[in-house]
Amino acid sequence: MSATDPLEFDLVVLGGGSGGLAGAFRAAAHGARVALLEPAELGGTCVNAGCVPKKAMWLAAQLASQIGAAAELGFDVPAVPGFDWPEFITDRQRYIDGIHESYRRRLDQAGVVLMPRRGALQGPRTVVADDGTRLHARHVLIATGSHPLRPRIPGAELGGVSDDFFALRRAPARVALVGGGYISVELAGVLQALGSRVELFVRGPRLLSHADEDVVAQLEENYRQLGVGLHFGYRLREVEPGEDGRVRLLDADGAATEAFDTLLYAIGRRANSAGIGLDRAGVATDARGNIAVDAFQNTTAEGVYAVGDVVGRETLTPVAIAAARRLMDRLFGGREDARLDYELVPTVVFAHPPIGGVGLTEAQARERHGDAVRVYRSRFRPMLQALVDTPLCSLFKLVCVGEERRVVGIHLFGEAADEILQGFAVALKLGATLADLHDTVAIHPTSAEELVLMS
Ligand SMILES: Cc1cc2nc3c(=O)[nH]c(=O)nc-3n(C[C@H](O)[C@H](O)[C@H](O)COP(=O)(O)OP(=O)(O)OC[C@H]3O[C@@H](n4cnc5c(N)ncnc54)[C@H](O)[C@@H]3O)c2cc1C
Ligand SMILES: NC(=O)c1ccc[n+]([C@@H]2O[C@H](COP(=O)([O-])OP(=O)(O)OC[C@H]3O[C@@H](n4cnc5c(N)ncnc54)[C@H](O)[C@@H]3O)[C@@H](O)[C@H]2O)c1
């Protein structure tokens, strides 16, 4: 081998986030020689600026709400507990550092060569790292993720994105969130429960356009009761600086809001597909910059594959992981038809309380199945809310189709919806009918029992 020959591998992976790590581990388990390039912390968005720190903040917010409830119910604790934000961030970071360490150890044990470098394609099966190292492989996996968008308006730089939320070192007092999707709804719930005053500025007519209308209406009602300000049909034209580093939002008519000490945009994300040599390798992207893949995660270049946020489809951690594992089973594990079925992916938005869904919303079902659709709803006050005597309600909903009432959609808003949904998603995937749910004896007293008692 000459000094200029590239290093040889079976698989080179660009990106050590959810998809890249899962692909590297699975390929190595099949005996492949794997190199993984990751210039930042292992774990990508999910571990460092997504699911994990978000869930930690959500847990803190849950505790704050429960301490408030405890105070109402005779416990000797303050109704509004003090919260040492910096101390919690230290604990959160210690937990995340443990994940980094565990990934490093596991990569080492699996024999994966980890290069702390940014990589780019030089040709279809050749990758060059930013220190000039060249790598050649039979297969290249692109799992470079995505980045948060900012609006293109005057003063946009006065606001931050979700990454900036995770970098906050103290609790903000008044927060404006722009956007009505996953991140806006989640951060609003967390911040409100931890004592901030929060307002959401939403371009569309409702929150969470992907979710079922009824459960979203209940979420909006609860958020209003908790004091979260909701502004729909809001056109943000400009952000202007105010006193003491605060900012004001200006709408399309030039009307200004009150001053906020923190402004965060959550208006979607864009694939990290620029600057990684896609043209040189013949890898095509769509109009939004997502890497184009077929049902088997093949890009337009032979031997080059893509998974996760960079393909822009169901941009969730378990989807990136599942797609990568199936791909590696196909490339190295002899399972020629292994591929991810992107249908019936269960999703949860960690609102307060969480909102989860799998399958068709009522609107989607009516569009597809017309009059054959039957809908069952249960709106109830969970026992803790009833004990504390708050008006906050849960809403569970089943969407069924046909004479046999096959369940095609399950939509939950309420305590523990995040934990309840997983098992019911299995039932839906197996083709459960309403009668199957009725045949299952309820677990009492729980919220989950509503799903087998609905009629
Ligand atoms: C605030 C927030 C909360 C979220 N919460 C959830 C949740 O609760 N549940 C859920 O399922 N999903 C959640 N998500 C989505 C989830 O984080 C992503 O879908 C997931 O991380 C995508 O995985 P990935 O492997 O495609 O990309 P990433 O995890 O982002 O990994 C991509 C990696 O590639 C690296 N990289 C980029 N360019 C290069 C290059 N040229 N060479 C080498 N490496 C490169 C990056 O440094 C990064 O580490 C959340 C996202 C956000 C922003
Ligand atoms: N619990 C979870 O699984 C979870 C949590 C957070 C994020 N995520 C993933 O991350 C992705 C990104 O989250 P997100 O909340 O940024 O995106 P999103 O797509 O969920 O929501 C974006 C929102 O911004 C609005 N919007 C878009 N452009 C706008 C503009 N120029 N001005 C004002 N509003 C605008 C949209 O109408 C929408 O309401 C999600 O789609 C999801 O896949 C998942």
Averaged over successive runs of 10 residues, the pLDDT of the chain (455 residues) comes to 79 98 98 98 98 98 96 94 94 98 98 98 95 97 98 98 95 96 98 97 98 98 98 98 94 97 98 98 97 98 98 98 98 98 97 97 98 98 96 97 98 98 98 98 98 97
Rounded CA-CA distance 65/213 in Å is 26
Per-residue model confidence (pLDDT) at position 131: 97
Per-residue model confidence (pLDDT) at position 3: 54
Domains of the chain by range and CATH?
Answer: 7-49+87-148+270-332 (3.50.50.60), 156-267 (3.50.50.60), 353-453 (3.30.390.30)
Active site residue 444: yes
Contact 299, 307 (CB under 8 A): no
Per-residue model confidence (pLDDT) at position 264: 98
Kindly report the CA angle at 50 between 45 and 55, in degrees rounded to 5? 145
Cα(207) to centroid of ligand 1, in Å?
A: 23
Cα(37) to centroid of ligand 1, in Å?
A: 14
Cα(185) to centroid of ligand 2, in Å?
A: 9
Distance of CA 144 to the CA centre of its chain: 16
CB of 67 within 6 A of ligand 1: the answer is no
Q: How many CA atoms does the CB half-sphere of 213 hold within 13 Å?
A: 7
State the pTM of this model.
0.97
CB of 316 within 6 A of ligand 2: the answer is yes
> Which one of the ligands is nearest to 266 CA?
2
Q: What is the largest CA-CA distance in the chain?
A: 77
- Of 419, 407, 394, nearest to 360 (Cα)? 407
Per-residue model confidence (pLDDT) at position 4: 72
Per-residue model confidence (pLDDT) at position 2: 54
Please report, in angstroms and rounded to a whole number, the separation of the first and last CA atoms in the chain: 72
Per-residue model confidence (pLDDT) at position 146: 98
Atom 1, ligand 2: residue with shortest CA distance? 349
Per-residue model confidence (pLDDT) at position 451: 98
> Which of 187, 267, 345, 355 for a ligand 2 pocket mutation test, highest count of atoms within 8 Å of Cβ?
267
Atom 8, ligand 1: residue with shortest CA distance? 51
b/e code 188-201 from CB counts within 10 Å (16+ = b): bbbbbbbbbbbbbb
Rounded CA-CA distance 249/234 in Å is 10
Which two structure tokens, joined as six digits, stand for 172? 């903000």
Give the DSSP letter of residue 238.
Answer: E
CB of 179 within 6 A of ligand 2: the answer is yes
Cα(17) to centroid of ligand 1, in Å?
A: 6
CB of 144 within 6 A of ligand 2: the answer is no
pLDDT tens per residue across span 339-367? 999 999 999 999 999 999 999 999 999 99
Rounded CA-CA distance 114/101 in Å is 13
pLDDT tens per residue across span 265-284? 999 999 999 999 999 999 99
Q: What residues are paired with 250 via a beta bridge?
A: 238, 256
Atom 12, ligand 1: residue with shortest CA distance? 316
pLDDT tens per residue across span 238-249? 999 988 899 999
Regarding beta strands 262-265 and 197-201, do their DSSP bridges make them parallel or antiparallel, or are they unpaired? unpaired
CB of 20 within 6 A of ligand 1: the answer is yes
Contact 140, 331 (CB under 8 A): no
CB of 297 within 6 A of ligand 1: the answer is no
Distance of CA 6 to the CA centre of its chain: 37
Cα(162) to centroid of ligand 2, in Å?
A: 11
Per-residue model confidence (pLDDT) at position 49: 98
Which contacts (CB < 8 Å, 24+ apart) does range 200-204 have? 200/228, 200/229, 200/230, 200/231, 201/176, 201/177, 201/231, 201/234, 201/236, 201/249, 202/230, 202/231, 202/232, 202/233, 202/234, 203/179, 203/233, 203/234, 203/235, 203/236, 204/180, 204/232, 204/233
CB of 268 within 6 A of ligand 2: the answer is yes
Contact 342, 313 (CB under 8 A): yes
Catalytic hit among 30, 139, 369, 444: 444
Say what the ipTM of the complex is. 0.99
